[in-house]
Structure 1
Amino acid sequence: MDFTFNEDQLLFQESVREFLGNEITPERLRAAWDTDTGRDPALWTQLAELGLAGLTVPEEHGGLGMNALDFVLLAQECGYVALAEPLVNHALAGVPLLQDLGGALAEAWLPKAATGEARIIAALEQNLLVEDAHVADLLLLERAGQWYALTQGEFSLQHNASVDPSRRLFTVTVNDAVQPVASGDQARRLRLATLNRGALGCAAQALGLAQRMVDMSVLYTSDRQQFGKPIGSFQAVKHHLANVAVRLEYAKAPVHRAAYAVAEDAAGAGQAVSQAKLMACEAAGLAAKNSIQVHGAMGYTWEVDLHIFMKKAWALANTWGDAGFHKQQVAGHIFADDAVLGAGATFQ
């Protein structure tokens, strides 16, 4: 059994990494904070031209017809640069939800999603604040056990501040005249599937954020000197970063396994996603804590770019289900009376 990504997936990841590394700099992120939307339309156009907006759109609608397993490595790269554009939500949550809704709605919007003409944003009721609702061309919103497909003008927004300056959060109020597009059992199934996809996106981005903070800390501790030596040569500093590296490495396999489970709609996908999000966000949280520690007082300042990544890591930890929610999901699985656990059940 081969658990590795194929050559095409790895080459795609490498090309996306190169593009994002060249285009998404901390300076470009900071510049967007001062704009009205906090978003960069030119950057979204570039992402669409690379085919990323249409990656999960079916081929018959002009997309690449890929799935969560193909996208998970790219989501990690989005995390590595702290991408503010709603690409992960669009490709991993919004577009698949639109496919599941189907009908005339999907026929009308999927071709636009493929070209990047439309940004499809999905939001669950349990996330009280909706990120990027102000730039959503189609907002797929769950409220009171029903799903709504909303265009600008069919809802009102109230802005809420975030610890992460790159995030734009809103309270959304649906206009009274708007009718739901899904309810009942269908709405519940859509919620569970969308929750898994959204939480997977958070987990994948958390891996990238953790790696970026480690890389920044290694660079800083290689340059910063004390007693005539780089502080990175001191054992205490090495241990701080090694602890993060170990936690990060052990989080990768659960995230990739969860991506496979989501892509294949496998039994137990929810439990796999919850485990992945817990481990990835814990790794990112430790990366933030230990990176601040090895940066010393500099780590707390606005001028040092570290805070861009640690604040996004903190925000993702409480998005698409916080730690308490996902621990409850895992506990429900392992403590069930009919739970089948152990090495012999790993690949069932």
Structure 2
Amino acid sequence: MDFTFSDDQLTFREAISRFLMTEAAPEMLREIWETDVGRSPDLRNKIAAQGLTALSVPDAFGGLGMDDVAWSLMTQELGYYAIPDSLADTAYLACGLIVGLDGRVAERGEWLRGIADGSLRVAIGHPVNPWVADAAHADLLLLANGDDVHAVARAQVDVQVHRSIDASRRLAQVSWQPHAATRVAQGEAGRLLWAQTVSRGALSVAGQLLGLAQRMLDLSVDYAAQRKQFGKPIGSFQAVKHHLADVATQLEFAKPVLYRAAYALAQGEQNAHVWVSQARLACCEASWLAARHAIQVHGAMGYTWEVDLQMFMKRAWALDNAWGDRALHKTRVAAHVLSGAPLGPGHTFED
């Protein structure tokens, strides 16, 4: 399979990177982290002005109609710059779920237009996540009750805030009562929508983890070139080179797995969820290796507030169990790989 991106896709990624490089510098992130809400309306408005909230919204509702492959690039940039915003949850996951709703849902068009222009912030609650990200700041919550999908206004839910190791992750436990009036999908249609949403959530996390891993590697390379011991940059020492090379290798192995998963989702392949789980595991391993080696390169100071590394490292740790932990995704991959395979002592020597 050809994983080469088109010129338009590469230009799109470069434009996003240039924008976020200016608007989300580490010193700006620290300021946002220290606010009570942990969000910047100004940054959100600038993101919307760039059209990033409209990426997945269909053309008919004022969007760009881009698919999962585009988001596999976008989420890497969101991770690389550790954006303190629920952009992916609203503009990717919630948008995909709303697009899949029956056209007879009266508010469907209004919601999509609100996502496109950046005026609507949506949080998603599903049992795969213990807590709901950005529930306290959402205008609308899409919540699961069995296979049913419920669209609930913020005023109709009770939110209990939980702290995260990542100060920019605003998590909450949501209490609510399902009603027929809030149900927008049910039965098999609801089950399929939630299955697609969980896969997109896992793909979104995988892309962010890959971006975070790349940023931690870049920070480590820069630090290793500047920090000196015995009169030499520590980057010249073989042990440090090996650490950084291991991370770079892991990243290169994870990228095609992520893109294959994005392609499978975009094409609606039957086993797309398996590709997504494989990507989730590969990108998670890359981020953990990057964090571990980055801390070793930086020394104990890597944990401190003054060092940029701690922001990206904490985000990687916080996302580790988002949209399914490793056990869930390993189980999905194992079930696919081992389905129908002859197992047990009686089959040990069979071809």
TM-score tier, shorter chain, comes to over 0.9
For 1:125, the equivalent position in structure 2 comes to 127
SS of residue matched to 1:117: coil
Correspondences of 1:236-251 after superposition (within 5 Å)? 236-251=239-254
Maintained 8 Å contact 2:145/2:178: no
Task: Report the RMSD for the aligned CA atoms in angstroms.
Answer: 1.4
- Report the Cα distance in structure 1 between the residues aligned to 2:333 and 2:152, rounded to whole angstroms: 33
- Report the Cα distance in structure 1 between the residues aligned to 2:13 and 2:149, rounded to whole angstroms: 33
For 1:54, the equivalent position in structure 2 comes to 54
For 2:117, the equivalent position in structure 1 comes to 115
For 1:15, the equivalent position in structure 2 comes to 15
How far residue 56 of structure 1 moved from its aligned partner, in angstroms, is: 0.3
- Report the Cα distance in structure 1 between the residues aligned to 2:218 and 2:140, rounded to whole angstroms: 37
For 2:256, the equivalent position in structure 1 comes to 253
Which of 143, 146, 154 aligns to 1:144? It is 146
How far residue 175 of structure 1 moved from its aligned partner, in angstroms, is: 4.0
How far residue 18 of structure 1 moved from its aligned partner, in angstroms, is: 0.5
For 1:157, the equivalent position in structure 2 comes to 159
Deviation per residue, 1:178-221 (Å, 9 max, x gap): 64222222221111100010000000011100000000000011
Q: Could you tell me which runs of 5 or more consecutive residues in structure 1 were left unpaired when the two chains were aligned.
A: 340-348
Correspondences of 1:86-235 after superposition (within 5 Å)? 86-102=86-102, 103-175=105-177, 179-235=182-238
Deviating more after overlay: 56-65 vs 117-126: 117-126
Maintained 8 Å contact 2:123/2:140: yes
Amino acid of the residue matched to residue 9 of structure 2? Q
Amino acid of the residue matched to residue 282 of structure 1? E
For 1:343, the equivalent position in structure 2 comes to none
Deviation per residue, 1:269-322 (Å, 9 max, x gap): 000000000000110011000000011121122221111101111111100001
Moved over 6 A (4+): none
How far residue 338 of structure 1 moved from its aligned partner, in angstroms, is: 6.9
- Report the Cα distance in structure 2 between the residues aligned to 1:303 and 1:82, rounded to whole angstroms: 16
Which of 326, 330, 334 aligns to 1:327? It is 330
- Report the Cα distance in structure 1 between the residues aligned to 2:322 and 2:184, rounded to whole angstroms: 24
- Identity over the aligned pairs, expressed in percent? 49
For 1:82, the equivalent position in structure 2 comes to 82
For 2:42, the equivalent position in structure 1 comes to 42
How far residue 249 of structure 1 moved from its aligned partner, in angstroms, is: 0.6
- Report the Cα distance in structure 1 between the residues aligned to 2:219 and 2:226, rounded to whole angstroms: 11
- Report the Cα distance in structure 1 between the residues aligned to 2:188 and 2:50, rounded to whole angstroms: 37
Deviating more after overlay: 126-135 vs 45-54: 126-135
Amino acid of the residue matched to residue 288 of structure 1? A
- Report the Cα distance in structure 1 between the residues aligned to 2:21 and 2:210, rounded to whole angstroms: 16
- Report the Cα distance in structure 1 between the residues aligned to 2:171 and 2:151, rounded to whole angstroms: 19
How many residues are aligned here? Answer: 339
